[in-house]
Amino acid sequence: METISHYSLNQLPFLNINRRPFTSNFINGSVSALGFALPCHRSSVPNQQPTKILVTRSSIAVEQQTSQIKTAVIRIGTRGSPLALAQAHETRDKLIASHPELAEEGAILIVIIKTTGDKILSQPLADIGGKGLFTKEIDEALLNADIDIAVHSMKDVPTYLPDKIILPCNLPREDVRDAFISLTATSLADLPAGTTVGTASLRRKSQILHRYPSLKVLENFRGNVQTRLRKLNEGVVQATLLALAGLKRLNMTENVTSILSIDDMLPAVAQGAIGIACRSDDEKMANYIAMLNHEETRLAVACERAFLETLDGSCRTPIAGYACRDEDGNCIFRGLVASPDGTRVLETSRKGPYALEDMILMGKDAGKELLSKAGPGFFDS
């Protein structure tokens, strides 16, 4: 697929997802198939025997839709990976649930847009531009009015938005934790010295090496979920980490060997959160997506992104941040920066009211503290 600007009106892709039943390999029935509910202070990690064969199938099929494009009420722009399409379909379902008139055939079209990050897989993200590689072409399509709304994984969205684009809506956040996947071990701690772990994330690499310096990390372990699991099956690496949220949205949690606690692996800023963007002058679309917004998620993401923006983080800097509501209704924020080799890890935390202005200030203040602790040169590549 090429970008939307390369499509004529009768060539735009339409999405049809055939969902399959949820299955899981978690033992003892300790994990709910419906939610993996996680209070922000909990750090339990279920144990499980290693998966013998990883399931790399995709449950998503894309069909071409050639009719009713001109009359579509909403055109949703998205990347073409199975996970991105699952997120677009989730958005479509929620739009129909909140606006029954959109259930009419052809009212919503899902348009696949191939981004720079999807096209170049042979190099680390930092070497080809870092943040924005998975959103640039989608932003252009939105500004050109080739699509009406855009669905993003929030951790891919730069802390700045292009002029005339707003992102007022976040869907309810999925589980933020990372999943450990291996054919030979039950956890990172069980991996023998010298074992190779694959990840494209410096955040994961630095935290792995900080706790387990005897392990090796294969960088640029890129590709969609199915590609990474295939590489693991082929023995390219002996283990990998993936966002649990993505595996859940793809109904592929049967591949999970164990789940890392927040204490063991602080998640990426906005991990597990989906954002929906529209043009700032499009009141009709803003009204459609307003009913989908989950305010608790939006505030948590705003706090974490304020932290990231203050650090001016790039794909060359390992940064992690997580905000959540505690039992008393307050916001708990934890932030981390590290050297890529894991030899230096700086952490901080904040607690305050669960309100937008307070949480943004918490994120900024935490970022300023770590900037001060890191000192000159820490963030230089």
Q: Which active-site residues does the annotation give?
A: 156
Closest CA to 285 of 99, 41, 84: 99
Closest CA to 242 of 338, 336, 153: 153
| Dihedral-angle region of residue 116 (phi above 0 means left; psi in -120 to 50 means alpha; beta otherwise) | alpha
- E strands, the chain, are 13-17, 60-64, 74-78, 108-112, 149-153, 165-170, 178-182, 196-198, 216-218, 239-243, 258-259, 274-279, 319-325, 330-338, 345-353
Residue 151: phi, psi to the nearest 5?
-110, 125
**Six token digits for residue 164:** 């005339």
CA atoms of 57 and 54, how far apart (whole Å):
9
Name, in order, each residue with C-beta under 8 angstroms of 234's C-beta and a sequence gap of 6 or more. none
CA atoms of 371 and 47, how far apart (whole Å):
37
**Six token digits for residue 70:** 């001109």
Name, in order, each residue with C-beta under 8 angstroms of 221's C-beta and a sequence gap of 6 or more. 198, 199, 200, 228, 231, 236, 237, 240
Give bridge partners of residue 78 from the DSSP assignment: 112
CA atoms of 302 and 323, how far apart (whole Å):
9
Please state the separation of Cα 207 from the chain's center in Å: 18
CA atoms of 157 and 169, how far apart (whole Å):
13
**Six token digits for residue 248:** 């859940």
